[in-house]
Each structure stands twice: as structure tokens, then as C-alpha cells.
Structure 1
């Protein structure tokens, strides 16, 4: 008995002395924590990085392959401006003139290296041995109706235009601006390009109101990431207001609300300082850290405050006695929940997405500081503030049973039935959880309130696909792209790609070779094929390149020594798994039908995002297992009971399974942001388990209650605190669920389900299991005889 009580006695003694120390030196403690928070906060430097590259680690193989392709050719960061005239016909004098004007203006875009449009498309023709390459439509305002009709006829027959720059019906067209960002400061370069494009579009709309305009591309994608970061950061202000109101309603004490607010602000200030000290640049996932910390930090304070106020209202303690007793009862549970939350967030470092590393590290630091402030600044403030509560008067009539005590009585009457029902429900939802599928389409990272999303959807439906896969097809020798055998194989690959159901457009050098060969033979369709000899192919290529204007050369398709060419395949907006399957299918075709130098792997930002969720899931698996083991070990030591430590795994893991089961009914699709939910929520939901089990064990060890009485005691003493913290957590993640960024909103939505499920499981399944697995303990009278100091009252 003494061996059992000794560790707890040490813990209780420390917590009691700690509380007495903080209360005695309340002003120095408060000033010291204020100085610490301000000192850390003064180092804060919130910089944002909207470049999509931040989602990929430097060792990511898909990123390495994509960067290698861009080094061979040209970087393809771009802006696509899509124009739809109200009259439904691109090919009018007025419309072509407007497009020509906007194309010329697009060349002034900062860092622009190329502008592709309908009007400046390089159309080939030949007279004798001379090859002529001209803009498809120049000085459009001077064209006759007959000339425009010829231009339309040529354009709608041109494979390099249709389904890429021009739709099949000639009602929608695009201007593609390629930019070469220096990459020195994306926070400056991307906004610079975006500002110019937006101004150009605004001016164009003013001058030509008959055009509907949409824009997409990698630069607008980066801009959407950046603006999502800023918008999500603003959610913190909304959440702060909700927390203040919720805390006041639930504690019914203005001073508790003030103290909670100060602890939260200290914690966020410290986290902001950590961001600056570590040189972290915020991204859409990591920018939600203030909301995370705000939500989670409140839980620490709530437990201490509610216990303190309960002691004052129900038991008649004065403020100091209540504060000391609250710290004594809650110090260890709050420490454990803070520790497990930190462990959960740190497991994000096992993943393959750097922004989630940052989110995990920042939140972990913020939660560490939240524990420090909730056990120092909070009690110091409550000791200083004139807290007064109305003491509950004893009545001569029958005692009114609280809702929580009633729930406890209901549970202890039927633990077997509740356990069986819980296992059946959890088992069913766990089965449903297996029906979720990964889908990381980056377009769906944004909801329909984001202009980038709606514009991209419009472009996909009316002109061309936004997703693509690229291949660098080698010949094995310098100048080898002029080898007729190479060109025939490349042509065969192009034809195979065009036959695939998901393919919208294929841009390959073999098309250029066929087109020039036809032009050099008097536009005879019989010569619309690759040249028959290497010399002929080399000569035609040289003539074509010499005829191209500056900025519209073939550097984006052919490498420097003409040993490789780039094939760009535009595909429909398909699911991640289908995207990966298509790339694998194309790679397999090359391996089976071409010589080894032509074998290539598919790369593109689209493909990188498609594989991101799968790679994140694989890498997070180890982290989640480690988190589960560490948290279980912490609970075993904290509870000083191996059996209960193992038992705690059930209420800590099952809410996640239940959450994903409900998600299968809601969406059945999970993205990269949701992969981290297991490790993240594992630390959060431990809060309910630890506080319930700690009160259960106190009743068993200190008060000598049997299992059923201990469960009722736990409900009565900690039930309100658990409900209160759950409401605050639900409020916080509910605000985050309104984010326009799906990685954050989906993560928040499933976390809402998991947190609510955790409370239900901790109120139904956990107490039932505690009763069923507990041995009959020594009676209260025997406990009294062994230790007369034990108080049997609450």
C-alpha cells in the first residue's frame, strides 16, 4: 500500500508546493512570464512562402526528377489567361485585334520569357526551297472577312492549337505566359507577376467588356496558396472571440476568462517568436498554428479553473485553498496531456511534407509554453484578481443530482451492454474507414470561394485540361532527335497517348517535324509524316529554328545538344490514383516499344501532388506507431498501472477509427492534410482519457471507492471540465473547418468528428471497461485503518 502511494505522494507534494510557491510570489512570477512572452514574441518574423515547391522535401524523388527536366529545357511557371467573347466567335476582326493587343501586353509581364497565343502562333508555309514561318494573325484590324475565314480554317486544323490554345468550336482561346522566376525571393517575385497580370486583365476588361476572362496556371496556384495562408491566419481573430465568449459562458466568471485569454496570448506570442528564431516561412498548412495553439492551450486552463471554481462553489474553499487544490489535482494530468499533445505534433516530422513539419514543431513549442504559462501565469493571475463566487448553499431536502452524476449512474448499471454496443458500432465504423481513398488533386485544395478554383474549373470544362504529365525522351546521342527511327518511335508514342481516354492534348516534337515536312513539300498531306532521312530532318529543323522570332524558339521542347525532346501530355482532371496509373502506363509503353535511351519517367507538379498523399501516408505510418507507443508508455508511468496503460489505448485510438468511418460516409476521400490526423489527434484526445482515469484512480487509491463508485466520482468531478474543453476544441476546429484551403478544412472537419467521438467513448466505453477490468479493492474501512490520514470525502 505504501509502495503504491509513494509516487503519487511525491507528485502531490510537488504540485502543492509549486502552487504555494506561485501564489506566494505571484507578482514576480507574473512579471517573469510576461517578460518571457514579450522577449520571445519580439523575435517574431512572420514571412509567407506561397511557392508550391514548399510542399515537397528536397529529397522527394518526384521533385528531383521534375527539377532535372526543367534544367534540360526551360522552367514552365506560367499564367494562362482564357478569353471568351460574348458573341461566341473568336474569329472576328474585333476579337482577334483585342487578343493581339493583350498578347503584346503580356510580353511586359515581369520575368516573362515566352507568350503563346492564337494570334502569334508560328504557322509554317513554303515557297520552293524557302520555309516561311509567320504569326497566324498579325495586324488583325486590317484583315478582310475572307482572310479571317482562312485564319480560322488553319487554326481549327492545327493540332498544336486545338484543345490547348483554342477549343474545337473556336469560342474560347487562351494566352499562355511563361515566366522564369529567379527563385531568390518567391514572396516578392510571385506577387509582382500576379499584380501585373491582374492589372492587365482589369484594363483589358475596361476596354473590351464583351470578353469574359479567367486565369490559371502555376503562378496563380502559388498566389492562391499565399492568399490562403493569409486568410487562415485571420481565422485566429474569429477563434479568439469565440474562445472568450465560450470560456465566459462555461465558467461564468469574468476573471477566469481574462486569465485564460492572457495564457493563450502568451502562448501564441511565444510561438510567433519561435517562428522568427527558427527562420520558418509560413505556408497554408503551417499558418493555422495560432488557431491550433489557441484551441489547445485553452484546455489546460479550463481544467485548472473549473476545478478551482467547483471547490469554491460546492466545497466552500477560499480562493487560495481552491487554487492550491486545483493545481494539486490537475498538475500531473495537464502535464501528461501537454506532453502527449507535443509528442503527437512532433510525429509530423516523420512525414514527407515540410509545411506539416513546421506546423508540428511550432504547435509543439506553443503547447510546451502553454503548459508553462497555465501552471505559472494562470494561478498567479487568479491569486491577484479579486475572484469571488457564490457558494452553493446546502438544502434540507433531497440532494439534486447533477447531469454528470446521473450519466455515471446510467453507465455503471449496464457496463456489459454498453461495451458490446460500443464494440459493434466501432467495428462497423472501422470497416467503413477502410473505404476511404486518397485523392490529392491540387485543384481541389481550394473550395469554390477561391477564384483560382472556379477559373480553373471553367478552363477545364471549356478549353483544356490543367493537369499534365511530361516526359523527356532521349535519343542516346547528340543530334539524335533528327534520326528518322527516333522520330518514328516518338510519333508512335504521341499517337498512343492521343488514344488514351484521359488525354486532352499532346505536345511533342514529332508534330513539329511532320508539320515542317508537309510545308516543305507544298503542304501535301501525303508528307504529313516525319522525314525519311536524318539529313533532311536536320535541315528542316535548322530552317524552322532560324525562322522563329525571339521568345518563340524550341528551347522549351529540345535540349541544348538536341539529344532529347520534351513531350507534354495534357489530361483531364482525374483522381490521384488514376493520374499515377496513367503515368505508369505511359512509362510501361516506352519500355516495351522503344529502345532504352527513349525510356523515361513521367514528371510534373500535378503528378508530384498526386503522389504526395501516398508518400505522406507511408512516411507517417512509422511516426504514428512511435507516437502510439510513446503515449502508451507515458500513460503507463503516469497511471502507474500497466494494465490501465494498455487499456487507455482503446479510448485513444478508437475515436480516430470512428472519425474516418464517418468520413467515409461523408466524402470517402482523404488528402495529404488528413494523413497527419492520427498523430495529431492522438495527443489531443488523450486529454479526456487522462483526466477521467486520473480521477477514477484517485477515487480508488485515495478514497477507497469500488470501481462503480469511482466511475461516478470521475463523472461528477471531471465531467464538466471534459465537456467544456471539448466544446472549446470543437469551436476552434469548427472555425478552422471554414478555411477555403482543403488541406486545413478537411483536417479540421475530421478532427471535429474525432474529438466529439472521443468524448462519447470516454463517457460510455471507457468507464464500462474500467468497471469490467477492475478488481474488487479493499473496503473504505480497511483503507482507514491502514492510513488514518486518508480523507474519504470528496
Structure 2
């Protein structure tokens, strides 16, 4: 079959190039429509109880992650002129398109008692703007007397204050979010220039905007670096301008196809899919390396360019198809996770790995059929002495130092298992940004002064309409809030309790000591004032923390980005036991479903439900969900690769022998993660199945050569291994060097996950090269008898002939023509020294 494919490609080379150009133009047309992703992906299953509750929460109370906070800690802000600038900044930000509201020190209000109307009203604290510094100081003291704002807008102990900018949800998940952030930054930077006050930024809208901008920038940077690095390694390997230009042209076409695929499938460029173009540059170039190496090798033998190119297609084509299949397996397994971002990553990468194979098997032979044949200088790389010396040394180790190989392999595995034991599973909301980044530095500011800015919500469903405003229920909410205030990674809670306490304080003339819940005697008076709020500001604020039925109360908190482990400890070991203490007790049955606890009184059947939710919890749970799915993906990749090897060789022994040297690099990578304190998180768990899919390619090339050399050398295992190392080893080293330097570029990323991908992938593939050059042949020397019967059902038998050519045969191929199929076939079958030459 592959002979016919080779003839078809050579005969129809011009037509195929035209078709390829037209298809690429079509993909380029759609590639221009590829869009960036502007939201944090929902990776938790829609069937998950916590995800379902979070969706209901947003329907009731709205978005929890749409607030940008701008903080400062500088006494200069409390000087009259700078305070005027802060007021002007607040007004300017409120006018920015996409900003719904701005809460800051100059526009704070206080609740006052309207005795005439017997209701509460709100009054701007700075309604009459101060004209002197003493007036400002007096009004600032009024702010400090409003306990409701302490820990929310101002930290009275440290003097820090912040502006809370609420972004319209319509702008959050669109390209316009970046525009909103840019406009906000323009005003805040102008404020800093005028006052000299340093500002700090945090909040999910800001973090998402920063990450989106960086993803777009790094996508372009890594694509350029990948092309430069692979181009340089190709030139060093082949010493030919053509051998650099046309593989890079081929892989550039693939990049266009990647972007076109994203657009056609209506996927967006995310942190993961944005890496695909650069990754495919790295893993696609080896296709060209194998093709060109074989082309040069064949051409040097007989000097016929067209026959050499036809052999490249017929012999290397099926090898590359199999290796591309195993590489694709490492990506395609992500489509079984049912996680949108992984599914899209797996689909786009898997499709375009096979696109890379098709383009390379067509474009490289066709282009080089038009170019001049390689010169003697360009063929010198086939006799690279340093490389041959290295392979001779490896051959010596395999034959003479087998027990030493086993000793060091065992030692490496023991150390790796020890390191794996030390690996921790932990993730952070801004996990992918480096510690030294301004985002993390600013996040630290808010964690120091306000205990964090990441949203966390607690919803208490009293089970009874208007049940929230009952004093016993308010008392329990207050008890819960008092406990939450003691937790160092939580901000001061804000809820209906604070609003009722503020009302009590206002009822008693604003006395700070009256900031408390009313007792039974006071309740009727204070609540009668609250009942007359109408639809004013107080009522709207109340509706932010109590649902329309008065049955559910919302406690809104901010949490420090302390990591999934500490957050789990807080919820499981602290908050949930406290909830049992407050809402449980004798005669109460407790049921848990995810982060929801239901307390049912046995005597009356009355239920109180407490749920913990919010973007932070869903993000952390999503990372755990991802890691569990990626473990399953690795197992699936292992099974699929095993099936491919089994189909190729039809030998259980070969399957086991081939998998061992490819599992060792993964174990070593896991050990390195433990020793260098690299946590297991989605970005690092992603590496293993991809590395397995790529690393197994070397085993396939080596074993294919080894099986054919067994036949050529009368089933002499030692001689077959020596020849296989000499001939297959060269291409293995070339491609592994390209892969190593190609993945190393990702180590320069600002994203921690991408950096880990680059370091661990490059190290894993470099280790895989040596395990396949040393451990694999060592295992064959020890455990393979070398004797087997040819199996027509084993895929390996269909391309064993690639390696069964007699090196010393001289061919008379001067009559080879392109015009008709018979000429190629007849020329290929011409008797040489009484034998039929096989292509």
C-alpha cells in the first residue's frame, strides 16, 4: 500500500501542492477569527452538587467575582488635597464604561434615624466636602465610628484603605474586560502621578485581564522561539539551508491549521490551547528530521533523488504514522475527561498532529523533488564522528556493563519513588503567576491589610419565609460571624447582621458602642424603622444579603489565596465543626452533600441548610477534579500505547520491555517534583501522558530497526543491537535534541504551570532518550532470545522491510522516470547481483 501512496504523491506532486495551498488558504481565512478566552474555565462537572448550588447562588445574588479592588496605605491620602484627588478618582472610575459602581472612602454613607418618618435614611458622610484639614479629620473620625466599614473599606489599625470597583457582568467574559481594566488603570496611574501614592490592584477581573494579556503575548513569543530553536537545530544537524527552510514552512502551515481549527470548532485561545502552536512546532519537526535523514541516507547509496524520495514515503511514512499516533494518544486521552478546557486541548492537538503527519509526508518529498540533490557536504552529517563515538560508547555499556546499568537504574527508581512520596497536591487561585510578579505582590498587600480578596460565600437557608430577620436566627448568624472573624485567612464578614447592627447604632444616635444586635425589647422599635425602607439605598443593600423571600441570608467574605490545602483545612476542620456546634446539637440530624450541610430537627422536621460556595471554592475543587481526571488520562494513555505496541510486535515480551524504559522517565520526573518542591497540580499532571506519548516514539524506531536486524544477522541479538544503535540511534538523538530544546523554551514563561511543563517535559524526554538507548537494548540483551516467527497480522511486519536493504548493493537507476507508475515499480524490482532489490 505504501508503495502505491509513494507513487501517487510523486506523480501528482504539483496537484497535491495546489490542493494543500488551497486548504491552507481556507484555514488561514478562518484563523483570523480565532479569539482569546476571557473567563476562568468551569472545570467542575455541571452535575456536581457544589456546581449546581453555585449556579443557583448566582441566580439569586448575582456574580461574586466581579469586584476590582484598588488599595493604598499612605498617610498622604488623608491630606486634604490628596483626598480631593481620591474623590475625583472615584467619580472618574464610576464613569468608565463597564463599571457599575465604585465604593470608596469619599463616597461612604452613614445610616441615620429619621424620627419624623420613623425610618432609617442614608446620608453621605462627605456630603459637604471639607474645606480644611480639621474638617476632613473630623469626618474621617465619623467613618471610623462606622464599624460596618472596618475591615471592608478601611483598616483602622494600619491606615490602609481601598476602592471597590464593581464591573458589569456583561463585560467580565468578553474582550471588553481588558478595555475596562485599561481605562481603570489609566485613571489610577494618573492619580499616582499627581499624589505620589502607590496603588495596589487585586480581584478576579484584574487577575483575569492580566492573565489574558500574558497568554496572548506568550503565545506569540513561544511560537517565534520554537521556530528559531528548531530552525537552528535543523541547521546544525543537516548543514543545509533547504533542510531548515522547508521544514519550518511545513510547520508554519500547521500553525495556520491550528488557529483555523480553533475557529472552525468555535473554541477560544486559552492558557492551554494557546500552547498548541508552539508544541506542534516542537513535536512536528521530528517528522521532517526522520524524512530528511532517510532521504540523505538513501541518496548517498545510489544517487537517484526520485527513488530516494519514493522510499522515504513508502518506508518512513508508516513509521511516522505510528509514532504520530502514539504522540497523539498523549493528547487525545484528554478528550475523555469531560472537562471543557482539556477536551478542547486534546481535540485540537490530536487533529493537528495527524495534519502535521499528512503535510510532512506530502510537502517534504514533493519540495525536495524539485530542489537539487544534496551535496556531499550536506551528507556529512551521516558520518558525524562525535555522535558515532557516543553511540559506540553506549554500545560498550550495553554489552559490557549491563549489571552497572541495572544498579544505577534501580538506584534512580528508589530515589524517584522517595521523591514521589514527597510530592504535594496544592493549587492557588493565581497559581500560574510567579511569586515575584506584581499581581502576587499586590495580592500580598490585600492579604496583609484585609486578609485577602478572593470571594467566599456562606448561605444560610432558614427554611421559613422571613425567617432571616428572626432574632434567634440573627443570633446564630452573629455567632458564626464572630467565629469567622477569628480566622486569619478570612476578611471581616459582611451580611444582614452588620446591617441590623448598623441600624441599632443609628437608632441610638450613631454611638459606636451600640453597634450590636437589638434585644427582644428593642427589636420591635428598630425593625419597625427597617420595615419602612421602601426601595431606597438601604433596601437595595439589604437585598444584596437577603433573598426576596427573606428566607436565605448571605455572608460574604474574602479569603487569602492560601492554597487548596489550607482552604480545605479551614472548611473541613474548622468551619464545618463550628456549623455543627451552632446549628446542630441533640435532637438534630445532620446531612452533608458536598459543601452543603442540612440540619433537621427530629421533633418538628424544621430544616436549616448552610452552604459554602463561591468562585474560590469552585476553582479549588476544579483543580482537584482536573488532577483526578489527568491521573485517569495517564492510565488510559498507558493502556492505548500498550495496545499500539502489541499490534506492532505481537509479542508480550516486547511490550513489557518497551514500556519499562518509557515509564522510568515519568517516575524520575515525579521524583524531581518531590525533591524540588514542585506541587502536583493540573499543569504538572498534564505532563505525564504527553511525555509518554512522545517518548515511546524512540522505542518504536529502535525496536523496528532491531527486529529487522535480527533477520539480517541470523537472529544474533548482540550484532542486531550494535547495528540498531548505530543507525537508529542517530535519528533518535537528532529528534530528542530538537524536542529538548523545543520544550526548554517554555521554561521562560511567566506562568508557573507553563514553566513546569517546559522543564519537566524537556528533562523527561532527555532521560527517555538515554533509557531507550541504554536500558532498552540492555533489557533486550538480557531477556530476548532474538528468535521469532514473522506474523502477518503484526503491523511491524509491514514496515520491517524499511530496514532490510543490503548496504553494499549497487543499483543502476538511471532509467527511473516520474511519468508512469510502472517505471518506478520496474526499476525498483531490477535484479542486482541475482537478487530483487526491495524498496
Is TM > 0.5 for Structure 1 vs Structure 2?
A: yes
> How has the CA–CA distance of structure 1 residues 720 and 609 changed in structure 2, closer, same or farther, with 3 Å as cutoff?
same
Quickly say closer, same or farther: Cα 1:132–1:422, change in 2 above 3 A.
same
What SS does the aligned partner of 1:568 have?
strand
Describe how 1:335-350 pairs up with structure 2 within 5 A.
335-350=321-336
1:386 and 2:372 are equivalent in the alignment: yes
Residue 428 of structure 2 corresponds to: 441
- Kept in 1, the 8 Å contact 2:419–2:671? The answer is yes
CA distance in 2, matches of 1:168, 1:524: 17
Distance 1:526 1:213 in 2: 33
2:521 matched to 1:538?
Answer: no
Aligned to 1:529: 516
Distance (whole Å) between structure 2 residues aligned to residue 546 and residue 39 of structure 1: 57
Contact map agreement 1:89 1:170 (CA 8 A) in 2? no
Contact 1:685 1:755 in 2 (8 A): yes
Match of 2:836 in 1: none
Structure 1 segment 392-403 matched on structure 2, within 5 A: 402-403=389-390
Task: Report the equivalent of 2:814.
Answer: none
> Is 1:573 equivalent to 2:583 in the alignment?
no
- Matched residue, 1:659: 669
Match in the other structure for 1:47:
35
C-alpha change, 1:139 and 1:337, in structure 2 (3 Å) is farther
Q: 2:707 aligned to 690, 697, 711, which one?
A: 697
Q: Which residue of 2 aligns with 1:514?
A: 501
Match of 2:656 among 634, 646, 649: 646
Q: Name 2:131's counterpart in structure 1.
A: 142
Correspondent of 2:583 among 568, 577, 594: 594
Give the one of 633, 657, 673 matched to 1:623: 633
Aligned-pair CA distance for 1:776 = 4.9
1:115 maps to what in 2? 102
User: Would you say 1:420 and 2:412 are equivalent positions?
Assistant: no
Aligned to 1:275: 262
Q: Describe the superposition over 1:752-790 as per-residue Cα deviations: whole angstroms up to 9, x where unpaired.
A: 2211121121122111111111115499xxxxxxx9x97
Alpha-carbon separation, structure 2, partners of 1:760 and 1:246: 19
Tell me whether 713-722 or 451-460 shows the greater mean CA deviation.
Answer: 451-460
Distance 2:210 2:51 in 1: 20
Change (3 A) 1:473 1:791: closer
**Equivalent residue in structure 1 for 2:348, among 351, 362, 369:** 362
Q: Deviations over 1:79-108 (max 9, x none)?
A: 43434365x344332233222222222222
Deviation string 1:560-616 (CA, Å, 9 cap, x unpaired) is 222212112223331212112323342343244216344322212222222222111
Using the size of structure 1 for normalisation, the TM-score is: 0.89
Deviates more, 1:652-661 or 1:195-204: 195-204
What is aligned with 1:10? none
61 and 723 in structure 1: CA distance in 2 versus 1, 3 angstrom threshold: farther
Q: What secondary structure is seen at the aligned counterpart in 2 of 1:30?
A: helix
Describe the SS at the equivalent of 2:748.
coil
Quick check: 2:459–2:555 contact (8 Å CA) kept in 1?
yes
CA distance change for structure 1 residues 326 and 281 in 2, over 3 Å: closer, same or farther? same
Query: Do 2:120 and 2:530's aligned partners in 1 also have CA atoms closer than 8 Å?
Result: no
Describe the SS at the equivalent of 1:566: strand
Does residue 480 in structure 1 map to residue 467 in structure 2?
Answer: yes
Paired residues for 1:125-524 under 5 Å:
125-126=112-113, 131-145=120-134, 147-156=135-144, 158-182=146-170, 186-206=173-193, 208-234=194-220, 235-313=222-300, 315=301, 317-351=303-337, 353-390=339-376, 402-447=389-434, 451-523=438-510
- Alpha-carbon distance in 1 for matches of 2:372, 2:650: 38
- Once the two structures are superposed, residues 424-474 of structure 1 have per-residue CA deviations (whole angstroms, 9 ceiling, x without a partner) of 212321331232222221223222575434433333344441233211112
SS at match of 1:52: coil
Deviations 1:26-73 (A, max 9, x none): 323333333333333333221112112455554455443323212211
SS at match of 1:187: coil
SS at match of 1:485: helix
- Aligned mates of 1:790, 1:726 — CA distance in 2: 25
Change (3 A) 1:618 1:85: closer
- Which secondary structure state, in structure 1, belongs to the residue aligned with residue 610 of structure 2? coil
In 1: Cα distance, 2:509 partner to 2:471 partner: 21
Q: Distance in 2 between matches of 1:22 and 1:709?
A: 36
Distance apart, 1:490 and its partner CA: 0.2
Deviates more, 1:443-452 or 1:745-754: 443-452
1:635 is aligned, of 636, 640, 645, to 645
Match of 1:556 in 2: 544
Q: Pick closer, same or farther for the CA change 1:201–1:91 going to 2, 3 Å.
A: closer
Structure-2 residue corresponding to 1:5: none
**Worse overlay, 427-436 or 625-634:** 427-436
| Between 472-481 and 51-60, the greater mean CA deviation after superposition | 51-60
Whether contact under 8 Å (2:459, 2:554) holds in the other structure is: yes
Structure 1 stretch displaced more, 413-422 or 73-82: 73-82
Q: Is 367-376 or 260-269 further displaced after alignment?
A: 260-269
Where does structure 1 lack aligned partners over 5 or more consecutive residues? 1-13, 780-786
DSSP 3-state at the match of 1:123: strand
Retained in 2: the 8 A contact 1:433–1:663? yes
Q: Are the equivalent residues in 2 in contact too, given 1:612–1:672 (CA < 8 A)?
A: no
**Helix, strand or coil for the counterpart of 2:704?**
helix
Matched, 1:100 2:87: yes
Is residue 728 from structure 1 mapped to residue 738 from structure 2 by the alignment? yes
Residue pair 1:110, 1:179 contacting (<8 A) in 2 also: no
SS at match of 1:443: coil
Task: Label 1:778 to 1:441 Cα distance change in 2 as closer, same or farther (>3 A).
Answer: closer
2:55 to 53, 56, 67: 67
Using a 3 Å threshold, how does the CA distance of structure 1 residues 418 and 537 change in structure 2: closer, same or farther?
farther
- Are 2:68 and 2:205, in contact at CA under 8 Å, matched by a contact in 1? no
1:783 aligns with: none
Q: Distance in 2 between matches of 1:222 and 1:20?
A: 53
- Partner Cα separation in structure 1 for residue 156 and residue 141 of structure 2: 11
TM-score by length of 2: 0.85
SS of equivalent residue, structure 2 residue 226: helix
Structure 2 SS opposite 1:80: strand
Taking a change above 3 Å as real, the CA distance of residues 472 and 706 of structure 1, as seen in their structure-2 partners, is same
- 8 Å Cα contact 2:744/2:759 also seen in 1: yes
Q: Deviations over 1:298-347 (max 9, x none)?
A: 1111112123223445x454333433444444333311111111122111
Aligned-CA RMSD value: 2.9
Structure 2 gap ranges (5+): 585-598, 600-606, 790-800, 809-839
Q: Which residue of the partner structure matches residue 615 of structure 2?
A: 605
Deviation at 1:74, TM superposition (A): 2.9
More displaced stretch, 587-596 vs 744-753: 587-596
177 and 60 in structure 1: CA distance in 2 versus 1, 3 angstrom threshold: farther
- Separation of aligned partners in 1, 2:696 and 2:334: 17
CA-to-aligned-CA distance 1:246-286 (integer Å, 9 cap, x gap): 21111222222222112212222222222121111111211
- Secondary structure at 1:142's aligned position in 2? coil
Residue 792 of structure 2 corresponds to which residue in structure 1?
none
Deviation at 1:159, TM superposition (A): 4.1
Corresponding residue SS for 2:218? helix
Q: Name which of structure 1's ranges 105-114 and 658-667 shifts more when overlaid on structure 2.
A: 105-114
The match for 2:719 is: 709
Answer whether contact 2:451 2:490 (CA < 8 A) is retained: no
Distance 1:487 1:309 in 2: 83
> How many Å separate the matches in 1 of 2:700 and 2:337?
27
Cα distance in 1, alignment partners of residues 99 and 388 from structure 2:
74
- Distance (Å, rounded) in 2 between the aligned partners of 1:176 and 1:494: 22
